[in-house]
Homo-oligomer: A and B are copies of this chain.
């Protein structure tokens, strides 16, 4: 698989950097297509190393995300089909921790949960659900931390964005993407890109 090779390569390169991979569970083709795409693109744009669409295959989303990566650069990997259970097992076996974003978790603003995640100095698998998630997600065997981005219902896409922005302390938004075919030149007015 080109993807997993890419991923291995970038794992090697980034060995000394903290790494975040996003796992999306519960995707329903069609119904969730656009949201899952937005979640994956948010992961990429806000500093995650890769995205795993667990337990299902959706070629269209893979295509969209990989096209963005081809055009806009970087080493972001997209994987699908792997079951969430084996993904979590593998992640933990490699020494990573698992963070489950949920409205029921410890509030990222009012608790020390983010500090504790950072202090662990470990790579982080961030799990976000679509439908109601299995009860297991909350258990010690699965999530090291259950984290809420405020305890109000909103969006896994928004939750992921705030989590990544705070985890990387904003630096993710300044970072360049290697081998980009398209680049935006930020402007106060109008659109400017370099191709």
- Contacts from A to B (Cβ < 8 Å): 31-32, 34-35, 38-39, 41-42, 44-46, 68, 72, 103-111, 138-140, 145-146, 148-155, 157-162, 165-166, 170-174, 177, 183-184, 186-193
- Which of B146, B166, B171 contacts A189, CB < 8 Å? B146
Q: With the chains together, A138 CA to B192 CA distance in Å?
A: 12
Known A-B contacts A110-B173, A157-B38; the reply to A46 vs B188 at CB < 8 A is no
Shortest CB-to-CB span from A90 to chain B, Å, is 23
A150 and B162 within 8 A (CB): no
Q: Is the CB of A38 within 8 A of B155?
A: yes
| Contact in complex: A42, B106 (CB < 8 Å) | no
Pick the contact of A107: B44, B157, B161, B174 (CB < 8 A): B174
B170-A109 in contact (CB<8A):
yes
Beta-carbon contact of B189 and A173 below 8 Å: no
- Asked whether A186 lies within 8 Å of B138 as measured between CB atoms, the reply is no
Q: List 21 A-B contacts (CB under 8 A).
A: A35-B38, A38-B154, A38-B157, A41-B152, A41-B153, A41-B155, A42-B154, A42-B155, A45-B150, A45-B152, A72-B153, A104-B186, A106-B187, A107-B174, A108-B173, A109-B170, A109-B171, A148-B186, A158-B160, A161-B161, A162-B162
Known: A150-B173, A158-B160. Contact between A138 and B104, CB under 8 A?
no
> In whole angstroms, what is the CA distance A184 to B110 when docked?
14
CA distance in complex: A140, B145 (Å): 45
The distance from the CB of A135 to the nearest CB of chain B, in whole angstroms, is 8
